[in-house]
Amino acid sequence: MMGEDKGLRAARHGLQYLLTRTGLLTSNVVESGGFIDTAGSGRPDVQIHVTPALVSAEERKSMGRHGVSINPCVLRPTSRGKISLRSGDAADRVVFEANNLTTTEDVQTLVRGLKASRRILRAPSMRELGFTELAPSKDDMVTDDALERYARDAVKTVYHPSGTCKMGKDRMAVVDPELRVIGLERLRVADASIMPTVVSGNTNAPCVMIGERCADFILGLEQAAGQAVTTTRSTTAPQERLSLSQPVR
């Protein structure tokens, strides 16, 4: 994929897409993915996004080679982020602290996700394609400590911040089960911020569902049971993910 977005090549891909609706531009780049139960708990705890391109540790910086990346992502992080006011001025930007990988559990899950991803890339069928690993290591055997160091160095968000004003009935809830802001009249919140915990996957479709349910609540077409109590803010940290990259020889 490298260089295909530049010059004549880019023009050719654009033309091919316009004329035949085929070719490189029909790709969504994240060509495949999956969910893995790395802890053996019977429920996936890691999602992988696989791209036919090298995704470097540093956001958007090209690694300058062709290759494949597997990005393991912690599905239900236990680390908690925080949003707070910077000042009394409503126009001032809020302070956003992601606090990624602040719990041992999240780090261990990510390390297991890395191991699973490395196993996939070392499968005989992948070996036949002539892969060598660029990161985290060319070696077959890598210690957990080294994987953790890599995880901490390469981790980034997968853009699913949520839960800054969670729905619920407990003292941390900001909106009630019908998404009304507790303690205020005629105000509801309907977006990713009301998720009590981040969903186990991508967040866009759940956000659409939240919006549609809120519309039904307002129209009186649907009711959620329960009554909320107090209003203290909590946050769910964005999901963490990192890159595991291999070039095609």
Per-position DSSP letters for 140-157, written without gaps between them: S---HHHHHHHHHHH-EE
Indicate which single residue of 100, 117, 203, 239 sits in contact with ligand FAD (rule: CB under 6 A). 203
Report how far residue 50's alpha carbon sits from residue 73's, in angstroms, rounded to the nearest whole number. Answer: 11
Instruction: Confirm or reject binding of residue 197 to ligand FAD (CB under 6 A).
Output: no
Residue in 78, 77, 72 with CA at minimum distance from that of residue 46: 72
Distances (CA, A) of 153 to 5, 56, 62, 116, 137: 28, 11, 17, 19, 14
| Piece in contact with ligand FAD (CB under 6 A), picked from 86-94, 110-118, 197-205, 227-235 | 197-205
Q: Tokens 């394609």 appear where?
A: 129
List 13, 49, 66, 160, catalytic entry: 160
Question: Does residue 98 bind ligand FAD (CB under 6 A)?
Answer: no
- Find the binder of ligand FAD among 202, 218, 231, 247 (CB under 6 A): 202
Q: State the DSSP H helix or E strand holding residue 247, giving kind and residue range, or none if neither.
A: strand 244-247
13 is catalytic: no
> Is 132 or 204 the residue whose CB approaches ligand FAD more closely?
204
Give the interface segment with ligand FAD, choosing from 102-110, 196-204, 217-225, 226-234 (CB under 6 A).
196-204
Q: Count of CB atoms within 10 A of residue 188's CB?
A: 16
Closest distance between ligand FAD and the C-beta of residue 89, in Å? 15
Site for ligand FAD in 122-181 (CB under 6 A): 159-160
Minimum distance of ligand FAD from residue 75's CB (angstroms) = 13
Contacting ligand FAD within 204-243 (CB under 6 A):
204-205, 207
Nearer of residues 51 and 117 to ligand FAD, judged by Cβ: 51
Core vs surface per residue 51-73: b (16+ CB within 10 A) or e = bbbbbbbeeeeebeeebbbbbbb
Kindly state the number of chain residues that form the binding site for ligand FAD, as judged by CB under 6 A. 9
Q: Name the residue nearer to ligand FAD (CB basis): 59 or 145.
A: 59
User: How many angstroms separate the CA atoms of 177 and 217, rounded?
Assistant: 10
Q: Torsions phi, psi of 52, nearest 5?
A: -80, 45
Closest distance between ligand FAD and the C-beta of residue 210, in Å? 8
Backbone dihedral angles phi then psi of residue 121, each to the nearest 5 degrees: -75, -15
Of all helices (H) and strands (E), which one includes residue 209?
Answer: helix 204-219
CB of 93: closest distance to ligand FAD in angstroms? 12
- Whichever of 99 and 202 has its CB closer to ligand FAD, that residue is 202
- 192 binds ligand FAD per the rule CB under 6 A: yes
Verify binding: residue 191, ligand FAD, rule CB under 6 A.
yes
* Chain centroid, CA 29 distance in Å: 15
Q: Kindly list the catalytic residues.
A: 160
Q: Which residues bind ligand FAD (CB under 6 A)?
A: 159-160, 191-192, 202-205, 207
